[in-house]
Homo-oligomer: A and B are copies of this chain.
Amino acid sequence: MERFFKHFHRKRDGRALYLYGLKPLEASPLPELEEPLAAASHLRWHPLRGEWVVYAAHRQERTFLPPKEHCPLCPGREGGFPTEIPFSDFQVAVFQNRFPAFVPDPFPPPEGLPVPVEAARGRCEVVVYTPRHTGSLASLSEEERRLLVEVWVDRYQELYAQEEVRFVMPFENRGEAVGVTLHHPHGQIYAYPFVPPVLEREARAFREGAVLEALFPHLSPYRVDEEGGLLAFVPPFARYPYEVWIAPRRRHPGPWTFSEEERWAFARLLGRVVARYDALFGEPFPYVMVFHASPKGEEAFFHFHVEFYPPKRTRDKLKFLAGTELGAGTFVVDALPEETARLLKEAL
């Protein structure tokens, strides 16, 4: 890919905004949504599960909710309503979340609690995939998706450069079934000041063996799609009926070490996996998509991969997480990975 262009803007409320494009950006600011960064988050230690819980108590008190016809993720317009992105010319935009779980300069944590507390230092960003109000990872053009890969790499590098950050996770919650209320195509990035429990466990597994590389020769019944050194497959141990993973055959700690060919292949596979999902039931398919790149310090062993968790069991039925999943951590699945892999393979 040729070079891309990046423009930094400090919003009037102090929050950072980054615009990305394939051509030089025409950067003249328009009316902008002002909302100072809330900073009342803190961490509390859960002594039984052995994990941090994040309290972002300001999130119940959101002062601003745009009327439905005013999408805060749309580009600004001359004389239009204010949005988060007071520019008309960009292809991808990233800005600091107004109601973040983690902030660069958090208030001190409360005192006198019966469990350990910490400041919730870190970053939370919103990634707007396109200026267009509708669409998905599947409907972006090849070049737009390719730029988006470059944006994720840029954010990984900038966020991992922060002293306090231990793990960076781009993710996307898609669809009302997973609680999404803004329909403009977008994802998020959390930069955590600790290694979250799921990543601790994955890092331990990779330290003990090349788990994914050992799996690849046996994936034939599970393969959904493939391109330029990357695989899309239903893991043989899927916890959601239509769970899909994307991973490079060669071990990479994150997409920042991908070759040019792997970057294009990653962009294309992301689009095609979402297109397969949408084709499955002939309607936009809800999912939670998470990127698992290496936490800081695990780069020698960790194997980057993307995990999609769709909440659907069938067209009309949701998989609810309940007693055994939430209370014991053991998932009960009523569809076989071999079967859902076949359906997703045949969907396109």
Interface residues in chain A, defined as those with a beta carbon under 8 Å from any beta carbon in chain B: 44-60, 101, 113-115, 167, 169, 171-173, 178-179, 188, 190, 192, 196-199, 201-202, 204-206, 211-212, 215, 218-219, 235-239, 288-290, 292, 307, 309, 313-314, 318, 320-324, 326-336
Known contacts A211-B47, A322-B178, A328-B198; is A334 also within 8 Å of B205 by CB? no
What distance in Å separates the Cβ of A281 from its nearest Cβ neighbour in chain B? 15
Contact B179 A335 (CB under 8 A): no
Please name 25 pairs of A and B residues whose Cβ atoms are closer than 8 Å in the assembled complex, sorted by A: A44-B236, A45-B237, A48-B212, A49-B198, A49-B201, A50-B201, A51-B329, A54-B330, A60-B313, A113-B236, A114-B218, A114-B219, A169-B327, A178-B322, A179-B318, A190-B324, A192-B328, A196-B324, A199-B328, A199-B329, A288-B322, A288-B326, A289-B323, A290-B327, A292-B327
Knowing A178-B320, A239-B53 touch, does A171 contact B332 (C-beta < 8 A)?
no
| Known A-B contacts A57-B335, A197-B330; A321 and B324 likewise in contact (beta carbons under 8 Å) | no
Q: A56 near B334 (CB under 8 angstroms)?
A: yes
Query: Which residues of the partner chain B approach A324 to less than 8 Å between Cβ atoms?
Result: 54, 101, 169, 171, 190, 196
* A45-B237, A327-B307, A327-B309 known; A333 vs B53 contact (CB < 8 Å): yes
Given that A114-B215, A324-B169 are contacting pairs, would A51 and B290 also be in contact in the complex, using a CB cutoff of 8 Å?
Answer: no
User: What CA separation (Å) do A49 and B245 show in the bound complex?
Assistant: 14
Please state if A202 and B53 are interface contacts (CB–CB under 8 Å). Answer: no
- A320 CB to closest chain B CB (Å) equals 3
Q: How far is the CA of A172 from the CA of B290 in the complex (A)?
A: 30
Complex: how many Å from CA A204 to CA B197?
15
In the complex, the answer to whether B179 meets A320 with C-beta atoms within 8 Å is yes
Q: Which residue of B lies closest to A335 (CB)?
A: B60
B333 with A56: CB separation less than 8 A? yes
Contact between B335 and A173, CB atoms less than 8 A apart: no
In the bound assembly, the distance between CA atoms of A192 and B52 in angstroms comes to 27
Collect the chain B residues with CB atoms within 8 Å of residue A172's CB: 323
By a CB distance below 8 angstroms, the chain B residues around A235 are: 46
When distances are taken between beta carbons in the complex, the residues of chain B under 8 Å from A196 are 324, 328-330
Kindly identify which residue among B114, B292, B331 contacts A236, using a CB–CB cutoff of 8 Å.
Answer: B114
Q: A45-B237, A58-B334, A115-B215 are in contact. List 4 more A-B contacts (CB 8 A).
A: A47-B237, A115-B237, A196-B324, A198-B329
A326 x B309 contact (CB < 8 A): yes
In the bound complex, what is the Cα–Cα distance between A331 and B52 (angstroms)? 8
- Bound together, the chains give a CA A236 to CA B116 distance in angstroms of 10
B179-A323 in contact (CB<8A): no
Are A197's CB and B329's CB within 8 A? Answer: yes
Q: Of residues A46, A56, A178, A237, which shows the largest number of chain B Cβ atoms within 10 Å of its Cβ?
A: A237
Cα–Cα distance between A169 and B335 once the two chains are bound (Å): 24
Please give the distance in Å from A247's CB to the nearest CB on chain B: 11
What separation, in Å, do the CA atoms of A65 and B34 have in the docked complex? 54
Q: Are A49 and B330 in contact (CB under 8 A)?
A: no
Smallest CB gap from A204: residue in B: B50
Counting chain B CB atoms within 10 Å of each CB, which of A60, A188, A206, A314 scores highest?
A60
